Structure formats: C-alpha cells, structure tokens
Homo-oligomer: A and B are copies of this chain.
C-alpha cells in the first residue's frame, strides 16, 4: 500500500481521534486506530466503547489496504513531521511514515483483534450541525459533575413533531434550549452522557448532520465524520413543574455586564458563604454585594425593573449565576421570587431558559 496525504488534514483528524481513543487500556486493541482505504480517501476510526468515531481524510491511494496502528504514537509522529505531504507505505506489518526527509517505521497491530465498528446507513433526522452543537453547549454546564442519580450526569434530548429540546439539570438548577428541528419520529427522550455530549460539540462543525437513534445509541454523521455515542438508560424526572410561572420582581439588563459584575464582586466571596453574591433589586437599580471575613464588595448596575413587589433581595452561588448567563447574548430577563427559583431568559431568544435556586439566607 502507498498513500499520499496532506499533513494538516491527517493531523487534525488524529487530534480528534486522540481524544476518544484511550492511551492505555486493559484491552490493548482499543489503544489502536484503524486506517481503511476507501474510494473517498483514508477512513480513520477509533473507539473507547462509549464513543465510536470515524473521520475521512482525502488522500491519494495506490493499492489500498486496511491496518491498525498505535493511535497516540501515530498522532504524535504525524504532528512532528517536517513536510506538508505525508507518505504512508505498508510493507508486511511495517508502516513507513515519511515526510520532508524524516522517516518513521512503526509496527502495525493485529487487524483481526480490532473491534468491528458499524455506523448506520439510514437516518431519522437532519439538523444544522452548528445549531445542534450550540444547543448542547448552552445547557451542558447544568448537568451534574457527580451525583447520586446517574441520570443527572447526562444531557437529555427531546424530539417531537413540534420541536427539539436539549435539557440538563443537576437537581438544583436547570437549563434548556429549544430549536426548531421537527422530527417525523414519534415523540421521544434520549439522555446523552455529558462526556459524549462534549465530544459531539467538538466534532460537529458546519453543514448538515444526520441523526439516527437505535439500540441505545445516538449516531450522527456528516460529510466527513461519523460518530456513535452510547445513551443512558432512563430519562430526567419531570422538570417543567419546578419552573416558576410568575415572579415578584423582573429585571432586564445586559447579560455580559451582569456576568462581569458577578465575577468582580465574587472576588471577596468565600467558600464559607457558598461564594454567595446577593442581588438587591430596587428602584431600577441592581446592587450586587459579596462579603466575607476579608472584606466587602459592592457594585451597582442600572436595570429595567417591573413586578408586583417594589424591591427584593436574593443570594446565589456566583458560579451558578455566571454559568446560567453564559449562553445569553445581549439582554437577559431575570424573574426573581421571594421563595422560588430565579428564571433567566435571553430577552431576544425564547429558546433558552435557565433556573437557579437561591441560597437560603
């Protein structure tokens, strides 16, 4: 086999695969990468049994064949090559990687020991890749890092004939984003493990992406990338009932300015007080206050204020505020309640909603 392939494209593909393929495993075959010759170029694939990933790279192939090589070493070698074009040459079980005067010789692995990866050939749904990735990343922060209930460590995707929604919650806060993709499938909910959701965000770039749901697996495929992600069993508990339908005070202001102000006063907040930042809304002003043994910080922002009460004081964890505001560009509308969670909406984008529980005083 003899292959000529542009270094940059090969190197980019290997970077994506390096994140999926484990560098160590009790099953040594999993640390390998499979390289297959196809009519459209070289197909590079790897798996950690949670995610299967295949990336296609255009190449000039003579006398194509398939082989497996140690994934991380092959990636490092490729990055270190001096030239712009890489030549691969397979002789027996030895792979020669040559470029710009440098030559590497690698032992290939046992092709038969490599797990069979299969990607679906039909699709259930077509989405805009960028919009889908943006929706996942808007809610991903609200998933639990560690939680007694595993389901909270996932991102739920809801498909229905009317709309699609991504939602995540750790039981204390919540974020969802709706997007207008309609599905011909019957209404259903699937929960993607957060780690797999992160990989989806990274892999989805431009153009269209086709989704297939089958057998506990979400498969996505675009022109150059195919990915299978294992799903979790079960679904999130009914979260709609915890979204407050009304608030005592509603304020509207620039999201970025509020995020900066929270970060600023949070400097003096400490763990003893749960890194608490207090919102004091009154007379068209939002005062932010944080306090600890070390000192006291205060900042004031102008807001548009409405509601049934003239004033309100509520405390939040600084980090939860910053994360809830993160996906909101432009103005944010915040509904504050005396005894209820705060609701964050993007003023110009009805699709996004976040809920943050206040700290007890």
Contacts and interface: CB of A to CB of B under 8 A. Distances in A.
B295 A102 contact: no
B299 A102 contact: yes
Interface string A100-137: 01111111000000000000000000000000000000
Contacts of A28: none
A70 interface: yes
B295 A265 contact: no
Interface stretch (A5-13, A52-60, A77-85, A193-201): A77-85
A70 B294 contact: yes
A302 to B, nearest CB: 10
Contact of A264 (B102, B106, B107, B267): B102
A268 B73 contact: yes
Contact of A260 (B82, B103, B263): B82
Given A82-B264, A102-B265, A77 B107 contact: no
A339 interface: no
A255 to B, nearest CB: 16
Contacts of A264: 80-82, 102
B263 A80 contact: yes
A104 B296 CA distance: 6
B267 A77 contact: yes
24 contacts: A70-B294, A73-B267, A73-B295, A77-B267, A77-B295, A77-B297, A80-B267, A81-B264, A82-B260, A101-B299, A101-B300, A102-B265, A102-B297, A102-B298, A102-B299, A103-B298, A104-B268, A104-B295, A104-B296, A105-B295, A105-B297, A106-B294, A106-B295, A107-B294
A25 to B, nearest CB: 16
Interface string A275-316: 000000000000000000011111110000000000000000
Given A82-B260, A260-B82, A300-B101, A76 B267 contact: yes
Given A73-B294, A80-B264, A106-B268, 19 more contacts: A70-B294, A73-B267, A76-B267, A77-B295, A77-B297, A80-B263, A80-B267, A82-B299, A101-B299, A101-B300, A102-B261, A102-B264, A102-B265, A103-B298, A104-B268, A104-B296, A104-B297, A106-B295, A107-B294
Nearest to A108: B295
A263 B76 CA distance: 11
> Ordered nearest first, which 3 A-B pairs have the shortest CB separation?
A106-B295, A80-B264, A102-B299
A356 to B, nearest CB: 21
Interface in A217-254: none
Contacts of A107: 294-295
Given A73-B294, A80-B263, A263-B80, A299 B103 contact: yes
B299 A268 contact: no
A107 B268 CA distance: 12
Contacts of A300: 101
A77 B104 CA distance: 52
